C-alpha cells in the first residue's frame, strides 16, 4: 500500500456484520497543522463510503428517480486520530430499513464510528421497492428503524 493512491470500494465479508469496504487515503486537506485529521472532516469519509456503497448496490447516490436522500440524523463517536497519508478502511452497511427511511452504520476503522439516518425527499415518502430489494439482496433483511 505504501505510496499507492487509494480510493476503491468493494464487497468484503471479512468484518461482519459489514459486507462493504471503501479503502481511501487521508489527504493533507483533511488535516490540521499537526497532520491529524480535523474532527469535522470525518463526515466526508462517511459520505464517501455511503456513496460508494450505494453505487455498488446500483442505487443512485443522491436517491432513486423522484427521490432525494436527506440526512435527518448523524451521530459520530471518535476513537482515535487518523493522520496524513494513512490508509483508512471505511466499512458501510444498512443497519435498518423502514418504510420511509433507512439507517446506515459506518465505521472509519480505528478512527470513528457513525450512525446516519436518511429519509427520502426530506419528508416521509415510501422507500422505492427496487432500492429496498437491492439492500435486502446485499444485506439480508435489515430490521426496521
What backbone torsions phi and psi does residue 40 show, to the nearest 5 degrees?
Answer: -75, -5
Q: Which has more confidence, 7 or 74?
A: 74
Pick among 3.40.50.300, 3.10.129.10, 1.25.40.80, 3.40.50.2000: CATH of 7-139: 3.10.129.10
Q: How far apart are CA 19 and CA 10, in angstroms?
A: 9
Q: How far is CA 14 from the centre of its chain?
A: 17
Q: How far apart are CA 130 and CA 108, in angstroms?
A: 28
SS (H, E, C) 45-106: HHHHHHHHHHHHCCCCCCCCCCCCEEEEEEEEEECCCCECCCEEEEEEEEEEECCCEEEEEE
Query: What pLDDT was estimated at residue 6?
Result: 63
Q: How far apart are CA 95 and CA 66, in angstroms?
A: 24
Give the pLDDT band of residue 1 (cuts 50, 70, 90).
very low
Per-chain mean pLDDT for the chain: 90
Give the pLDDT band of residue 59 (cuts 50, 70, 90).
very high
> Domain ranges in the chain?
7-139
pLDDT, tens digit, 9 for 90 and up, residues 82-122? 999 999 999 999 999 998 889 999 999 989 999 999 887 76
Mean pLDDT over residues 65-74, rounded? 86
42 in Cβ contact with 53 (< 8 Å): no
Say whether 11 sits in a helix, a strand or coil.
Answer: strand
C-alpha cell at 3: 505510496
C-alpha cell at 94: 444498512
Query: What pLDDT was estimated at residue 145?
Result: 79
Mean pLDDT over residues 117-140, rounded? 86
Residue whose entry in the numeric block shows the C-alpha cell 468493494: 10
Residue 55 has pLDDT above 90, yes or no: yes
pLDDT, tens digit, 9 for 90 and up, residues 14-44? 999 999 999 999 999 999 999 999 999 999 9
Amino acid at each position: 500500500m505504501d505510496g499507492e493512491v487509494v480510493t476503491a470500494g468493494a464487497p468484503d465479508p471479512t468484518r461482519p456484520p459489514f459486507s462493504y469496504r471503501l479503502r481511501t487515503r487521508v489527504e493533507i486537506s483533511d488535516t490540521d497543522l499537526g497532520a491529524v485529521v480535523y474532527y469535522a472532516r470525518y463526515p466526508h469519509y462517511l459520505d464517501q463510503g455511503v456513496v460508494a456503497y450505494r453505487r455498488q448496490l446500483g442505487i443512485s447516490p443522491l436517491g432513486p428517480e423522484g427521490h432525494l436522500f436527506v440526512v435527518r440524523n448523524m451521530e459520530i463517536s471518535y476513537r482515535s486520530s487518523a493522520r496524513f497519508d494513512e490508509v483508512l478502511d471505511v466499512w458501510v452497511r444498512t443497519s435498518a430499513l423502514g418504510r420511509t427511511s433507512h439507517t446506515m452504520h459506518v465505521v472509519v476503522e480505528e478512527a470513528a464510528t457513525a450512525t446516519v439516518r436518511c429519509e427520502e425527499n426530506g419528508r416521509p415518502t415510501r422507500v422505492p421497492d427496487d432500492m429496498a430489494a437491492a439492500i435486502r439482496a446485499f444485506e439480508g433483511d435489515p430490521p426496521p428503524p
